[in-house]
């Protein structure tokens, strides 16, 4: 036969062309084939039919809108006999099941059972015979194509649909991994399920084992109403208990399985439902994932497969997000706890002003230079800046520059590679790398050698380090806070500190006052230390008696807070009662100042006669008051003074007379 007049050859290209479209379905391919049939043959219209219950339903139709009913008897006879049947303008060609189809019962139920051709009614009998035979030829060609290719096209459609769903699932899973908020994640998962399974709602029930409840987290379309059901009730309960997926369809399945009370509460009617188990890492039940009301038809086997895969992805992501959230919460709690321990204590004017400045600069990445005598709290201040800054969850690394000899400085700060020098048995990151993302505290910067200063400056400018013995540039993001008790500006003038580094570090400078200039902050700090040590010892913090408070105020404190801290540590451990008395406070002498017994004629040469005399008097009075347990009359008597003269003397010496 000439291929041009062979109906199969004429119909096939159109059928293949339709199939080539990436989202073509079996129905679309059939529609294309029927259109070709109508265009090329004598058929006015063509359609496919299959039996649903007792009726014959048209599954596809090409040509003018049908005005007559399907000739059901003729169709039934053609299908029953497996032979072409004709009646008036109808020709019915049965579609045999291909061998491949017969093996797959689910395909059989989806394929049409007969091809229906309608021709024009009025024709001479001779013409009618010719045209009927030609029509049958065309029809049989189309029927063969549908029989042979139909199952393949259906399967192709299924595979495409499955690929589409898997792709969509991968996309969803990738998005879920970005989601940090557990509630938002559950919403995103439920949304994905409604879309992928063309359903009206989806809910994820997490199992509250202790309360024997299934808690529906995002119940879409339900607002924020909590949805809780007993863990053994209804379809979801059965899925949790059995670990097996379940489908439920109104009118086909037991009505009693559905909890209509939930429907009423949510003003919703469940028509169909599919639920699959959610499992934890160990494969134990963790909840149930359900979708409700398939928009068209019933939930299929493919839907079970899709929801099961979705549930397994979801379980993993939910677990990870919950773990991450728990970890973040405990990290934040720990950071908050540590941050609490590094408050800048004090209400004196200069400390209050300093606290305000810290609040302002903490949010920035500006370099800070903290100046202050030894033990004035420079490191505490640096830590406080760190914990108030956005870098608080990253490391705070402190380096004592005075302890770094020139030969070690580079490897300490920038790290080294294995074998970089004799003792470099392992590669080691330096302090800059360790502080990445956080704060690097360079204490005693004034003691850094000039060579070290040059290397430090380069890294601060370039924000890149290279480990000793290495060649790979490593970018570092570090906020630098430097501190010194040295007169850095003077050192710049004397050329013992690099001017360019000084300006690089000193974008903002903070000056910490010495303890002796902090007035009643001494008492606040003392209270702070007393409660810190009380906590360590496991008892209530001791209180300073009125006389002890006076003695603390009177004492000529050095600048170093450690003196106060050590004293409070000593009394916390040694003071027997709840109240600290004057005699419990034996102040240690400021090593830089000659003590009473040290005061010699030489002292007057260093301090000046008037200051040496003042200090001698202060100490003599302090000792007398302490030895008389704060009794001023007795103390005055011991000093050979009248009580009122003692008060006058206190005032004159700038001591606290209260
Ligand atoms: N605001 C504060 N709250 C609690 N303790 C503080 C505070 N300020 C300082 N201290 C305590 O004082 C001592 C000295 O503080 P820090 O080490 O911060 O001082 P520094 O100026 O860095 O000392 P150095 O000059 O010796 O390096 C520490 O024991 C610290 O705990």
Question: Judging by DSSP bridges, how do beta strands 285-294 and 199-208 pair with one another?
Answer: antiparallel
CA of 477 to the centre of ligand 1 (A): 27
217 neighbors 183 (Cβ within 8 angstroms): yes
Q: Which domains does the chain have, with CATH numbers?
A: 7-160 (3.30.450.40), 182-328 (3.30.450.40), 349-513 (3.40.50.300), 520-652 (1.10.8.60)
pLDDT for 569? 92
Cβ atoms of 272 and 294 within 8 Å: the answer is yes
Ligand 1 centre and the CA of 551: distance in Å? 23
Instruction: Tell me the CA–centroid distance for residue 376 and ligand 1, in Å.
Output: 6
Q: Which atom of ligand 1 is the closest one to the Cα of 561?
A: 12
pLDDT-above-70 percentage for the chain: 92
Atom 7, ligand 1: which residue's CA is nearest? 377
**Residue 175: what pLDDT?**
83
258, 248 Cβ separation under 8 angstroms: yes
521 C-alpha to ligand 1 centroid (Å): 14
What pLDDT, on a 0 to 100 scale, did the predictor assign at position 221?
A: 44
Spatial separation of the C-alpha atoms in residues 575 and 534, rounded to whole Å: 11
As for ligand 1, residues whose beta carbon falls within 6 Å of it are 344-345, 372, 374-380, 443, 485, 528, 561-562, 565
Q: What are the C-alpha distances in Å from 34 to residues 76, 135, 240, 349, 476?
A: 21, 13, 48, 93, 69
Q: Are 147 and 97 in contact (CB under 8 A)?
A: yes
Predicted confidence at residue 597, as pLDDT, reads 52
214, 231 Cβ separation under 8 angstroms: yes
Q: Give nearest CA residue, ligand 1 atom 10.
A: 377
Q: Give the pLDDT score at 381.
A: 95
Name the pTM for this structure. 0.61
pLDDT (0 to 100) of residue 406 = 78
Centre of ligand 1 from the C-alpha of residue 592, in Å = 19
Ligand 1 centroid to Cα of residue 375, in Å, is 5
* d(CA 438, ligand 1 centre) in Å: 21
Q: What number does the ligand 1 atom closest to the CA of 400 have?
A: 27
Closest ligand 1 atom number to CA of residue 382: 18
Q: What is the mean pLDDT of each run of 10 residues along the chain (658 residues)?
A: 69 78 80 90 91 88 84 92 89 81 75 90 60 82 87 84 83 83 84 89 90 76 67 89 91 76 77 92 89 89 89 85 86 86 88 92 93 93 95 94 84 90 88 96 93 92 93 94 93 93 93 90 94 90 90 85 91 87 71 54 70 80 81 85 85 75
Whose CA is closest to atom 25 on ligand 1? Answer: 374
pLDDT computed for residue 509 by the predictor: 92
CB neighbour list of residue 501: distance below 8 Å, 6 or more residues apart: 453, 454, 456, 457, 460
Q: Which long-range contacts (CB under 8 A, 24 or more apart) does 568-573 make?
A: 568/526, 568/529, 568/530, 568/533, 569/529, 569/533, 571/530, 571/542, 572/529, 572/530, 572/533, 572/534, 572/537, 572/541, 572/542, 573/533, 573/537
pLDDT the model gives residue 100: 62
What are the φ/ψ torsions at residue 273 (nearest 5 degrees)? -150, 140
First to last CA, the chain: 127
Which of 355, 370, 371, 375 to mutate for ligand 1's pocket (most ligand atoms within 8 Å of CB)?
375
560 C-alpha vs ligand 1 centroid, how far in Å?
A: 8
């Amino acid at each position: 036969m000439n291929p041009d007049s062979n109906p199969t050859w004429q119909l096939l290209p159109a059928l293949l062309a339709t199939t080539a479209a990436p989202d073509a379905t079996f129905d679309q391919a059939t529609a294309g084939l029927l259109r070709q049939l109508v265009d090329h043959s004598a058929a006015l219209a063509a359609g496919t039919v299959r039996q649903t219950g007792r009726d014959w339903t048209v599954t596809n139709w090409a040509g003018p809108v049908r005005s007559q009913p399907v000739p059901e008897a003729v169709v039934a006879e053609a299908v029953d006999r497996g032979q072409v049947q004709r009646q008036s303008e109808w020709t019915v060609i049965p579609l045999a099941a291909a061998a491949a189809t017969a093996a797959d019962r689910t395909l059989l139920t989806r394929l049409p059972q007969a091809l229906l051709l309608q021709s024009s009614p009025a024709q001479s009998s001779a013409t009618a015979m010719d045209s009927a035979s030609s029509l049958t030829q065309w029809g049989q060609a189309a029927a063969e194509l549908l029989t042979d290719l139909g199952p393949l096209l259906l399967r192709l459609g299924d595979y495409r649909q499955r690929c589409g769903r898997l792709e969509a699932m991968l996309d969803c899973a990738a998005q879920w991994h970005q989601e940090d908020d557990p509630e938002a994640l559950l919403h995103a998962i439920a949304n994905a399920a409604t879309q992928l399974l063309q359903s009206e709602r989806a809910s994820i029930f997490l199992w509250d084992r202790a309360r024997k409840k299934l808690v529906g987290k995002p119940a879409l379309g339900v607002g924020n109403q909590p949805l809780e059901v007993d863990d053994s009730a209804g379809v979801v309960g059965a899925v949790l208990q059995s670990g097996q997926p379940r489908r439920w369809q109104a009118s086909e399945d037991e009505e009693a399985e559905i909890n209509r009370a939930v429907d009423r509460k949510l003003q919703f009617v469940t028509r169909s439902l599919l639920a699959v188990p959610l499992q934890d890492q160990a494969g134990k039940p963790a909840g149930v994932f359900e979708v409700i009301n398939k928009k068209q038809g019933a939930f299929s086997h493919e839907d079970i497969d899709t929801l099961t895969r979705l549930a397994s992805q979801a379980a993993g992501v939910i677990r990870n997000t919950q773990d991450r959230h728990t970890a973040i919460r405990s990290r934040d709690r720990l950071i908050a706890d540590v941050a609490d321990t590094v408050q800048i204590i004090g209400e004196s004017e200069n400390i209050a002003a300093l606290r305000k400045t810290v609040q302002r600069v903490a949010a920035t990445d500006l370099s800070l230079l903290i100046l202050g005598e030894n033990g004035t709290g420079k490191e505490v201040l640096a830590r406080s800046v760190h914990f108030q800054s956005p870098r608080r969850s990253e490391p705070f690394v402190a380096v004592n520059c005075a302890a770094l000899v020139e030969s070690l400085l580079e490897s300490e700060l920038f790290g080294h590679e294995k074998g970089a020098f004799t003792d470099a048995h392992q590669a080691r990151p330096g302090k800059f790398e360790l502080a990445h993302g956080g704060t690097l505290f360079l204490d005693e910067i004034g003691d850094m050698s000039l060579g070290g200063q040059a290397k430090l400056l380069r890294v601060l400018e370039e924000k890149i380090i290279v480990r000793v013995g290495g060649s790979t540039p490593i970018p570092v993001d570090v906020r630098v806070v430097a501190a010194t008790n040295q007169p850095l500006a003077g050192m710049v003038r004397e050329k013992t500190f690099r001017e360019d580094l000084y300006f690089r570090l000193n974008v903002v400078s903070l000056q910490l006052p010495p303890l002796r200039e902090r007035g009643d902050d001494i008492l606040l700090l003392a209270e702070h230390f007393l409660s810190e040590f009380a906590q360590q010892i496991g008892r209530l913090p001791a209180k300073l008696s009125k006389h002890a408070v006076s003695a603390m105020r009177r004492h000529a404190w050095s600048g170093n807070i450690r003196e106060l801290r050590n004293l409070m540590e000593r009394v916390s451990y040694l003071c027997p009662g709840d109240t600290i008395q004057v005699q419990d406070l034996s102040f240690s002498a400021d090593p830089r100042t000659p003590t009473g017994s040290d005061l010699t004629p030489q002292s007057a040469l260093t301090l000046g006669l008037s200051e040496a005399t003042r200090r001698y008097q202060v100490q003599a009075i302090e000792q007398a008051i302490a030895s008389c347990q704060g009794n001023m009359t007795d103390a005055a008597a011991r000093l050979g003074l009248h009580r009122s003269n003692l008060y006058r003397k206190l005032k004159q010496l700038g001591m606290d007379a209260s």
